[in-house]
Chains A and B, each alone.
Chain A
Amino acid sequence: MAKHKTPLLDQLETGPWPSFVSDIKRQAEFRKANQDKIDYQIPVDVCEDLLGVLELSFVHRRTHWKHGGIVGVFGYGGGVIGRYCDQPEMFPGVAHFHTLRVNQPGGKFYTTEYLRQLCDLWDFRGSGITNMHGSTGDIIFLGTQTDQLEEIFYELTHTLNQDLGGSGSNLRTPSDCIGQARCEWSCYDTQALCYDLTQEYQDELHRPAFPYKFKFKFDGCPNCCVASIARADISFVGTWKDDIRIDQEAVAAYVGGEFPPNGGAHAGRDWGPFDIRKEVIDLCPTECMRYEDGKLEINTPECTRCMHCINVMPRALRVGDDRGCSLLVGAKAPILDGAQMSTLLVPFIKVEEPYDEIKEVIENIWDWWMEEGKNRERLGELMKRQGMQKLLEVTGIKADARHVQEPRTNPYIFWKEEEVEGGFDRDINEFRKYHQR
């Protein structure tokens, strides 16, 4: 018998999708049965009370969670998100229900042993409910009480060799795609760069002093598996400068039906024989491809490295040899001002240890944003407010045709005085020699 009746939540389970309600009910049963004889450090019925308070919220049509709090582990201003229930008598199991953000391993590679250790720790000192992974990328531990926080932190750092991630107004847990560990398209070692910057910016990650959150995300190529371009304040997107490498024999094999397009990803349905013109050439967004007399050609200066042709014919086409990354800045998901994709700032940068060039760009941006950014203003909003020109100025980057999305649509150019020879002062007598009043 469930502790609380939850008719509204039960209805959610009838939909076609996997249900979090079913998951939490199963976890509630697991805790009650306690087959492994775990010495639970927080109430055994935490999951039942979680369902109970959610049901009550649906009945009242208002939340019963208080917002925020003074919780954290000593010396860290992030990584713990305090949540308190405003009906603690009814639901003592969730009187405190704090979330921990745990810094996920690079590329989200785990050993099963490590996963087991994480789960054992969380069954022992928390609700056992996890979110693998949160949208920022972290491992999320959902629900524990204040007195467990230091214990969990100690165990994570001393036994599991594992840090907390970021929350609040600080650098959020950097996240990366699997990169060169598994993916032949990765133009730089995403995990190496992600790890290096995580270590370099420990202070920014753990001690909040920014106007708002700040995110780094690392994609090895423009396929953007961690969606850096849609949600990172700095998106590191792998790219290359030279030609896409073409194996003409393999192209012929795709055309001849020998290799399935897209690595067989769409093989579940019969789409008819592969048509290179319809499926590749005509879909190239910059129309820079040609296929004639059995030969594929790409006009490299026009190619925007969208990855489409490579994705369709991976055995025939490979990323170029002169590889690095592009830095794009200012993406954010909507809260105040609507969703925004990141904007190209550095078209190409080599990704080589110790990454000094990259760090210089980062720190120039931070200096600007920390001083000029309003409270709760993301970098992308500051860029809109003060302009791309200002961003170029603070980063010392020269304007470039690749920063321009389309030709000007208005005729106004505002010069700064220092940009005009002789400044704005003029000799009026000299002027009057040529022009009457």
Chain B
Amino acid sequence: MDQAEANEKIVEALQKKKGKTKFYFNDLAKILDMKPRVAKKLINKMVEDQILEYWSSGSTSLYGLKGAGKQAAADGEE
């Protein structure tokens, strides 16, 4: 799978999920139907390209589409 295809699959799948904006890494790996350590390269690139962004509670990390979800708006961040 190339990067463009991965981007498309993930963006499409995440946009479909109503009311949920933060996802575990393994949810994303499942969308790509790949082993986690392989999927990681593609998903990391999506963060680098600012399609996805990290969210962290401090103990657990989640991923979301950049800018999606309440917190970004509430905190006045892009």
Question: Which chain A residues border B39 with CB–CB below 8 Å?
Answer: 209
- Residue B37 at the A interface, CB < 8 A? yes
Chain A proximity mask over B37-78: 1 for CB below 8 Å, otherwise 0: 101100110011000011111111100100000011001010
CB distance from A92 to the nearest CB of B (A): 14
Known: A70-B71, A84-B75, A146-B77. A370 touches B58 (CB 8 A): no
- Chain B's closest residue to A375 (CB) is B24
Given contacts A211-B26, A375-B26, contact A69 B40 (CB under 8 A): no
A376 is an interface residue with CB less than 8 A from chain B: yes
Q: Is the CB of A168 within 8 A of B36?
A: no
A408 at the interface (CB under 8 A from B): no
Q: How far is the CA of A75 from the CA of B37 in the complex (A)?
A: 18
Complex CA gap A385/B43 in Å reads 28
Return B12 CB to nearest CB of chain A, in Å. Answer: 21
Decide: B56 and A209 in contact? CB cutoff 8 A. Answer: no
Asked if B16 is at the interface of the complex by the 8 Å CB criterion, the answer is: no
Is there contact, CB below 8 Å, between B60 and A212? yes
Least CB distance from A42 to B in Å reads 16
A124: Cβ under 8 A from any B Cβ: no
A170→B27 CA distance, assembly (Å): 16
A155-181 vs B, Cβ < 8 Å mask (1 yes, 0 no): 000000000000111100000000000
Report the Cα distance A167→B36, complex, angstroms.
Answer: 19
B57 CB, min distance to chain A CBs, angstroms: 4
Interface residues of B, count at CB 8 A: 26
Residue A220, interface by CB 8 Å: no
Q: Name the CB-closest residue of B to A84.
A: B75
With contact pairs A77-B47, A77-B56, A78-B56 given, residues A367 and B37 touching in the complex (Cβ less than 8 Å): yes
- The answer to whether A169 and B25 have CB atoms under 8 Å apart is yes
* B17 sits at the interface (CB 8 A): no
Closest chain-A Cβ to B68's Cβ sits at a distance in Å of 10
B56 touches A371 (CB 8 A): no
Measured CB to CB, the nearest residue on chain B to A204 is B40
Q: Is the CB of B25 within 8 A of A208?
A: yes
Interfacial residues of chain A within 197-219, with CB under 8 A of chain B in the complex: 203, 207-213
Contact status B59-A213, CB under 8 Å:
yes
User: In whole angstroms, what is the CA distance A203 to B24 when docked?
Assistant: 18
Instruction: List the A residue with the shortest CB-CB distance to B50.
Output: A74
Cβ 8 A contact of A170, one of B61, B64, B72: B61
Verify if A107 is at the interface (C-beta below 8 Å from B).
no
Contact partner of B25 (CB less than 8 A), chosen from A67, A78, A81, A210, is: A210
A338–B62 CA distance with the chains assembled, in angstroms: 24
Q: Is B35 an interface residue (CB 8 A)?
A: yes
Please tell me if the beta carbons of A75 and B61 are within 8 angstroms of each other in the complex.
no
Greatest chain B CB density within 10 A among A68, A70, A78, A370 is at A70
Cβ–Cβ contact A168 & B61, under 8 A: yes
In the complex with contacts A207-B40, A209-B43, A169-B61 CB distance below 8 A: yes
CB-contact partner of B61 in A78, A146, A366, A367, under 8 A: A78
Contact among B37, B54, B71, B72 for A208, CB-based, below 8 A: B54
Interchain CB contact under 8 A, B40 and A168: no
Could you tell me if A70 and B60 are in contact, using CB atoms closer than 8 angstroms? no
Instruction: Point out the residues of chain B lying under 8 angstroms from A212, CB to CB.
Output: 59-60
Give 9 nearest A-B pairs by CB, closest first.
Answer: A168-B61, A208-B61, A68-B57, A370-B36, A81-B58, A77-B54, A169-B61, A168-B56, A209-B40
Beyond the given A70-B54, A209-B43, A366-B37, please list 12 additional residue pairs across the A-B interface where CB-CB is below 8 A. Answer: A67-B58, A68-B57, A81-B56, A169-B61, A203-B40, A207-B44, A208-B56, A208-B61, A209-B36, A210-B25, A367-B35, A371-B36
Q: List 28 A-B contacts (CB under 8 A).
A: A67-B58, A69-B71, A70-B53, A70-B64, A70-B71, A70-B77, A72-B54, A77-B56, A77-B61, A99-B58, A168-B59, A168-B60, A203-B44, A207-B40, A207-B47, A208-B54, A209-B25, A209-B37, A209-B40, A209-B43, A209-B44, A210-B25, A211-B25, A212-B59, A367-B37, A370-B35, A370-B36, A376-B60
